[in-house]
Amino acid sequence: MIVVTGAAGFIGSCLVGKLNAENYNDLVLVDDFTRDHMRVNYESKKYTQLVDRGAFPAWLAANQQLVQFVFHLGARTDTTEFDTKIFDKLNLNYSKEIWRLCVKHSLPLVYASSAATYGLGELGYRDDHEICSALKPLNPYGDSKNNFDIWALAQREKPFFWAGLKFFNVYGPNEYHKGRMASVILHAFRQIEKTEGMKLFRSHNPDYANGEQKRDFVYVKDVSEVCFFLMHHRKDSGLYNLGTGQARTFLDLTRATFKAMGKEEKIGFVDTPEDIRDKYQYFTEADMSKLKLIGYDRPFTELEAGVNDYVSNYLMNSSIL
CA atoms within 13 A on the CB side of 264: 2
Residue 320 lies in a domain: no
Please list the alpha-helical segments (H only) found in the chain: 10-21, 56-63, 84-87, 94-104, 140-154, 184-195, 220-233, 250-261, 274-277, 289-293, 303-313
| Residue 268 CA from chain centroid, whole number | 28
pLDDT at 81: 67
In a domain? residue 39: yes
| Number of structural domains in the chain | 1
Closest-CA residue to 312 (of 244, 256, 266): 256
Annotation marks residue 141 as catalytic:
yes
Q: Active-site residue among 96, 136, 158, 178?
A: 178
In a domain, 80, yes or no: yes
Q: What string of DSSP letters covers 58-69? A: HHHHHHGGG-SE
Going by C-alpha positions, the residue among 154, 151, 150, 113 that lies closest to residue 133 is 150
| Domain that residue 156 falls in | 2-171+217-245+285-300
pLDDT of amino acid 78: 67
Please report, in tens digits, the pLDDT of each residue of the chain (321 residues total): 999 999 999 999 999 999 999 999 999 999 999 989 999 999 999 999 999 999 999 999 999 999 999 999 988 766 666 778 888 788 899 999 999 999 999 999 999 999 999 999 999 999 999 999 999 999 999 999 999 999 999 999 999 999 999 999 999 999 998 888 889 999 999 999 999 999 999 999 999 999 999 999 999 999 999 999 999 999 999 999 999 999 999 999 999 999 999 999 999 999 998 878 888 889 999 999 999 999 999 999 999 999 999 999 999 998 888
3-state secondary structure of 21: helix
Is residue 212 included in any domain, yes or no?
no
Q: Which of 141, 176, 219, 240 is catalytic?
A: 141
Nearest C-alpha neighbor of 221 from the set 69, 53, 13 = 13
Q: Respond yes or no: is residue 178 known to be catalytic.
A: yes
CATH number, domain at 8? 3.40.50.720
Residue 49: predicted pLDDT: 97
pLDDT of residue 278: 80
- Is 261 part of a structural domain of the chain? no
Residue 186, in any domain of the structure: no
- Whether 124 is in a domain gets the answer yes
Q: Residue 105, exposed/middle/buried by CB under 10 A (0-12, 13-18, 19+)?
A: middle
Residue 223 domain flag: yes
